[in-house]
Chain A
Amino acid sequence: MQDFVEAFLNIEIAREAAPILWQGLWQTLLLSVIVVPLGILGGIILALLSTVHSAWVRWPLRVWTDLFRALPPLVLLVFIYAGLPFAGLEMGAFGAVALGFFLNTGAYYGEILRAGIESIPRGQVEAARSTGLTRWQALSLIVLPQAVRNVLPDLVSNTLEVVKLTSIASVVALPELLFQARQAQSVTYNATPIVAAAVAYFILLWPVVRLLSRLENRQLAGR
């Protein structure tokens, strides 16, 4: 027990590591605030494209989506960060993370929004068009708001996954929470900073998990 506290819950070391863990936490939040909207943007673009009834759009879109859903995000990130500079494309850790997340999480948000759009009866578009709205107005004003409501739990769930996924930025030395925790751990030879980081993630994300659990239950009860 003594050893356990010494190794995992060492107050002394926690105090020492606190400042850089704070910095890491802020980086994680900043990163999330940037990559989540970026992914949603990518998702909206893909979802809107999926409403185009043309094989020339449909098939490339499907290949694109499946490609980025099949590739593990870390592989994509390493490829962009460590591979592209060989082709003269140097974009730094932050740029690589932003691009990787745009491609990967965009594909997921896209699939969710597409399912949402497909859940809206055709009559909604027809009603909107019959009142003189354009195709895009009908989509953005009538279909999309309802679609988002229908797939809200999935959107929240995916957003939770995206925020958790920011931890892989540590691999390309972006100084977010996990990276800072590992730095502190390697300096102090003590696991307390990583435990502290885990606690920080948990405190940050537990409310989202609870909310999600309630949303999902409500969705199930509504069936």
Chain B
Amino acid sequence: MSNWDRFLDSFFNLRVMADQLPKIVDGFFLTVVLALCIVATGLIAGLLLAVVRALGIRPLNWLIIFVVDLFRALPPLVIIVLLYFGLPAMGMELSGFGAAWLALSLVLMAFAEEVYWAGITAVPKGQWEAARSTGIGFLPTLGAVVLPQALRMTIPPLTSRTIAITKGTALASVVAVPEILGAAQAGVSFSFNPSPLTLGALAYLILFLPVVILGRWIETRFAWKR
């Protein structure tokens, strides 16, 4: 067998690929579901934190800043492992999916809060004053006047962060979630051939290449103006 043939047999073994395809496809959809769950909870939780921070209650703000710093400083994999292997000791069982979802949502929440907060503080003070001078209360001003402008500014930085963190779904393979990478690794040990990994890599590219390209477009389209 020539080198080229051996290469093809290892990485593009069609028989192995056909064998493992259904599992990778299942993994693909699991990755999509996990990613969507993380994006939804992370972005909403981050927004809630930023809104609470805007209330300006000192001790509460220190707590928020600490939580945000904490989840910016800890590697996502460490958080996943801690939740998955640590919580059962407290009698709280968390599935691998649950651990990955919770951990990555916390990470996205922290980054999103920072970005939202930066956006809120970037809205000129005059906007607050104009609304408040017509008798609109604090929260309606935040909701109707400040946040719409702030969110527009946050679209580019949030997009790239969100993409980076959803790619962390691959980390869930470490806690036995059969998402793409998990399914591919299982396929490799089953068939003793790395073609499932090729398939897995392709699956990630199919999923994330459009997202990365879309993200690039969004970043230029909605770039910080002012």
CB nearest to B72 among chain A residues: A209
A174 → chain B closest CB, angstroms: 13
A8 interface residue per 8 A CB criterion: yes
B143 interface residue per 8 A CB criterion: no
Q: Interface digits, A177-221 against B, CB 8 Å rule (1 contact, 0 not)? A: 010011001000011001101100110111011101100110010
Q: A202 touching B167 by the CB < 8 A rule? A: no
Chain B residues contacting A34 (CB-CB under 8 Å) are none
Interface of B is mostly: helix
Q: A178 touching B78 by the CB < 8 A rule? A: yes
- Which size bracket describes the interface of A in this complex? 35 or more
Chain A residues contacting B75 (CB-CB under 8 Å) are 164-167, 178, 201
Interface of A is mostly: helix
Chain A residues contacting B90 (CB-CB under 8 Å) are 3-4, 7-8
B32 → chain A closest CB, angstroms: 14
Chain B residues contacting A160 (CB-CB under 8 Å) are 72-73
> Of B55-63, B134-142, B208-216, which stretch is located at the interface?
B208-216
Chain A residues contacting B185 (CB-CB under 8 Å) are 78, 82
CB nearest to A28 among chain B residues: B75
Q: Interface digits, A82-119 against B, CB 8 Å rule (1 contact, 0 not)? A: 11001110000000000000000000000000000000
Q: A71 touching B89 by the CB < 8 A rule? A: no
Q: A213 touching B114 by the CB < 8 A rule? A: yes
Chain B residues contacting A75 (CB-CB under 8 Å) are 170, 180-181, 200-201, 204
B127 interface residue per 8 A CB criterion: no
Chain B residues contacting A11 (CB-CB under 8 Å) are none
B171 interface residue per 8 A CB criterion: yes
- Which size bracket describes the interface of B in this complex? 35 or more
Bound Cα distance A166, B167 (Å): 15
A223 interface residue per 8 A CB criterion: yes
Most B-side CB within 10 Å, residue of A82, A161, A182, A191: A191
Q: Interface digits, B74-107 against A, CB 8 Å rule (1 contact, 0 not)? A: 1111110110011001110000000000000000
Residues of B108-145 contacting chain A, CB below 8 A: 114, 118, 121-122
Chain A residues contacting B169 (CB-CB under 8 Å) are 72
> Of B3-11, B17-25, B36-44, which stretch is located at the interface?
B3-11
13 contacts between A and B (CB under 8 A): A66-B213, A73-B170, A83-B10, A86-B10, A88-B6, A178-B81, A182-B85, A191-B85, A197-B78, A206-B69, A209-B73, A216-B118, A223-B122
Besides A78-B181, A83-B197, 13 more A-B contacts (Cβ < 8 Å) are A3-B89, A3-B91, A7-B89, A66-B216, A70-B211, A71-B201, A74-B173, A75-B201, A79-B197, A79-B198, A82-B188, A168-B77, A194-B82
**Closest 10 CB pairs between A and B?**
A7-B89, A191-B86, A72-B170, A83-B194, A167-B75, A70-B208, A164-B75, A205-B73, A86-B10, A72-B167
